[in-house]
Chains A and B, each alone.
Chain A
Amino acid sequence: MAVSPLNQIRRGLRQLPSWEDITWTWKPRSEREAGDAVVRNFLLHWFPSKITRRAMESSYSLWLGTISAVLFLILTLTGVVLMFLYVPSVERAYGSIKDLEYAISYGRFLRATHRIAAHLMVAVVFLHMMRVFLTGAFKNGVLARQNRPLNWWIGMVMLLATLLLSFTGYLLPWDQLAYWAITVGTNIARAVPLIGDGIRFFLLGGHEINQNTLIRFYVLHCIFLPLGLGALFVWHMWRIHKDGGLACHDRVALDQKAAPAPPASTKTYTLLGITAGRTAHVETALIDEERHLVNAAPLLLRRLLVVILLTFLVSAALAMLVGAPLEAPANPDVTPNPAKAPWYFLWLQELVTITTIRIGGWTLNGAFVGGVLIPGLLLLWGLAVPWLDASGPTAVGTWFPPSRRRANTIFLIVCLALILLTIIGTFMRGPYWQFYWPWERWPAAPPRF
Chain B
Amino acid sequence: MSKGDEDKVKRRDVISKLGTGAVGAAFGLPVLMSVRSLVPNALYESPRRFKAGRPEEFPDGPTFVPEQRVFIFREGKTFYCISATCTHLGCTVQLVRLGRTAADQTIEFHCPCHGSKFRGDGTNYAGPAPRPLDYFKLELAPDDGQLVVDMSQTADKGWRFTV
Contact = CB atoms under 8 A, between A and B. Distances in A.
B89 A183 contact: yes
B39 interface: yes
Given A212-B40, A365-B130, A183 B115 contact: no
Nearest to A183: B90
Interface string B21-56: 000000000000000001110011110000000000
A354 B89 CA distance: 13
Interface string A3-24: 0000000000000000000000
Nearest to B131: A363
Interface in A323-341: 332-339
Given A356-B130, A434-B115, A367 B94 contact: no
B82 to A, nearest CB: 13
Interface string B58-76: 0000101011010000000
A449 B110 CA distance: 12
Contacts of B92: 332-335
B88 interface: yes
A336 B115 contact: no
Nearest to A353: B114
A117 to B, nearest CB: 28
Contacts of A332: 66-67, 69, 92
Given A365-B128, A366-B128, A206 B94 contact: no
A335 B91 contact: yes
A327 B64 CA distance: 23
B111 interface: yes
A337 B88 CA distance: 16
Given A187-B90, A335-B113, A353 B40 contact: no
A262 interface: no
B43 A363 contact: no
Contacts of B110: 432
A356 B128 contact: yes
B127 interface: yes
Contacts of B45: 206-208, 210
Given A367-B88, A433-B113, A207 B128 contact: no
Contacts of A366: 88, 114, 128, 130
A207 B43 CA distance: 9
What range describes how many residues of A lie at the interface?
A: 35 or more
B19 interface: no
A240 B153 CA distance: 58
A366 B44 CA distance: 31
B112 interface: yes
Contact of B112 (A201, A202, A338, A449): A338
A128 B123 CA distance: 46
B148 interface: no
Contacts of B69: 332-333
Nearest to B45: A208
Nearest to B95: A449
B129 interface: yes
Contacts of B62: 449
B115 A433 contact: yes
B96 interface: yes
A353 B127 contact: yes
Contacts of B96: 446
Interface of B: 38-40, 43-46, 62, 64, 66-67, 69, 88-92, 94-97, 110-115, 117, 127-131
Interface of A: 180, 183-184, 187-188, 201-202, 205-208, 210, 212, 216, 332-339, 349, 352-356, 363-367, 371, 431-434, 446, 448-449
17 contacts: A183-B89, A184-B91, A332-B67, A332-B69, A333-B66, A352-B88, A355-B128, A356-B129, A364-B130, A365-B88, A365-B130, A366-B130, A367-B88, A367-B128, A432-B115, A432-B117, A433-B112
